[in-house]
Homo-oligomer: A and B are copies of this chain.
Amino acid sequence: MAQKPSIPKGTRDFNPTEMGRRNFIFDTIKNVYKVYGFEPIETPSMEQLSTLLGKYGEEGDKLLFRILNSGDFLRSVDTNDLNNKELTKLSSQMCEKGLRYDLTVPFARYVVQHRNEITFPFRRYQIQPVWRADKPQKGRYREFYQCDADVIGSDSQMNEAELVMIMDEIFSKLGIRTCIKLNNRKILSGMVSLINREDLLTEITIGIDKLDKIGIDQVQEELNQKGMTAQEFEIIKPILQLCGSNRDKIEVMRNLFANQPEGLKGVEELESVLNLLTGYELRNELEFDLSLARGLNYYTGCIFEVKALDVQIGSICGGGRYDNLTGVFGMEGVSGVGISFGADRIYDVLDNLNLFPESVTHTIKAMFVNFGDRESLYCLQAATKLRNKGIAVEVYPESAKMKKQMSYANAKQIPFVIFVGEEEINNNQFKVKDMENGDQNTHNFDSLYTILGA
């Protein structure tokens, strides 16, 4: 009967220490979202496959986890498809539901489905797991959390400015030094218009996205393979290599785009965001980065990406504006803008830099040693009074050997251990041992509370 238990590859158990640290990240993000007026929603883990399919490209469709229909899952199966092992067709015939792949498509579905109950502009945040049947590897999981905030139904750049503030505030609260990178898809568009090669937009943005990793020569080579002439590349190259302050870059681009309305619009949008940040004290770097493109093709305006300064790791937050997210569900012309925090990478950064506060994992303040029935009843009553004041304490549940009780307190790194014998009961006192320095002192309840409440 005994099985050696394990969990599916690419998934994780989280122990109390990891949970304390993860909740520190989630709570920090959530609390900042809240003061900026974002409100939470949640959507089901399962969506209809019809909602998910075709939204993430061909590769994405393959990475969806599909849920076998309950009961007779063969009832709608086509025998020919079965004999020919038509996997794609069969999986659609046997599965109606899939696990959500991200929070963006379910959010778009939510907005369309509940459009009549929603007050627009709608500011929502959503922190939930997503699932992808990706090949598991270091830092890549099949179940992981996304932490999204979006404003939908407003095209004001104030939303972008507030999202920058949110990113700045969250990373400052987490203690991570970052560079928040900003760009605008219209600027990228304008750029390709300068060389009259709109057809190469996707290729150029992909190339630019890889600039950091493969260098300008390799990008040129790849673009050349896609059909860009050396002459065309020379025109866009200086733009990619632009430097100076954000305002300097804006001025150069504004001049370059004098006759290119879309690019100019992008520059103006970017400038609006910077103007709205006047007087806001940024604690992170903010850089208008023309090499920033981001992979997702649904972005149409401002795009964001955040890099940690002190750890070499991919982006830890990203987002942008999209003009037609809900169109695929029949609701056209609704503009939105959003960001998403990568909780797992943020965890790795904090872990790497040793930035997790002690307090997030060591929540239990004291343990009462158990010497027997009478003593433990006294301890339990004191514990109740402390718990009522919000202090987390334990009473060791049985009068085990002292050594066992002390090694429990040690293993759990409980800072104070409390001993109550007959003398303490008679005098209404508590003998308290500070586990860090070994000091022992006797206290009444009030001074015990003072010590533990500190």
Contacts and interface: CB of A to CB of B under 8 A. Distances in A.
Interface of A: 1-8, 11-16, 19-20, 23, 34-37, 39-48, 50-51, 62-63, 65-68, 70, 72-74, 82, 85, 87, 90-91, 94-97, 99, 109-110, 112-114, 117, 119, 121, 123-124, 129, 131, 133, 142-143, 151, 154-156, 158-159, 161-162, 165, 169, 275-276, 278-280, 327-330, 363-364, 367, 370, 373, 376-377, 380-381, 384, 386-387, 390-395, 397-398, 408, 411-412
A275 B384 CA distance: 15
A169 B45 CA distance: 31
A35 B393 contact: yes
A158 B151 CA distance: 50
A240 B124 CA distance: 53
Nearest to A97: B8
Nearest to A119: B411
B329 A3 contact: yes
A324 to B, nearest CB: 11
B13 A113 contact: yes
Given A46-B143, A133-B70, A161 B380 contact: yes
B47 A8 contact: yes
B46 A20 contact: no
Contact of A124 (B16, B42, B85, B363): B16
Contacts of A36: 387, 392, 394
Nearest to A361: B39
B129 A45 contact: yes
A394 B165 contact: no
B117 A94 contact: no
Taking each of A70, A73, A129, A275, which has the highest tally of chain B beta carbons within 10 Å of its own beta carbon? Answer: A70
A360 B447 CA distance: 35
The 4 closest A-B pairs by CB, nearest first: A2-B330, A11-B44, A16-B39, A37-B394
Contact of A158 (B94, B276, B384, B398): B398
A393 B34 CA distance: 9
Contacts of A329: 2-5
Contacts of A384: 165, 280
Taking each of A72, A384, A386, which has the highest tally of chain B beta carbons within 10 Å of its own beta carbon? Answer: A384
B391 A35 contact: yes
A39 B37 CA distance: 30
Contacts of A67: 65-68, 99
Contacts of A165: 384
A304 to B, nearest CB: 17
Contact of A364 (B37, B48, B62, B158): B37
Given A8-B46, A91-B73, A158 B380 contact: yes
10 contacts: A3-B330, A7-B109, A13-B42, A16-B39, A19-B39, A37-B367, A44-B143, A65-B67, A72-B87, A151-B397
Contact of A3 (B2, B50, B411): B50
Contacts of A90: 74
Contacts of A377: 275-276, 278-279
Taking each of A19, A39, A51, A131, which has the highest tally of chain B beta carbons within 10 Å of its own beta carbon? Answer: A39
Nearest to A67: B65
Contacts of A142: 46
Given A2-B330, A15-B114, A158-B376, 6 more contacts: A12-B44, A67-B68, A119-B411, A154-B397, A162-B395, A276-B377
A108 to B, nearest CB: 8
Contacts of A40: 14, 16, 19-20, 23
Given A7-B48, A158-B395, A41 B13 contact: yes
Contacts of A96: 8
B19 A109 contact: no
Taking each of A110, A159, A377, which has the highest tally of chain B beta carbons within 10 Å of its own beta carbon? Answer: A377
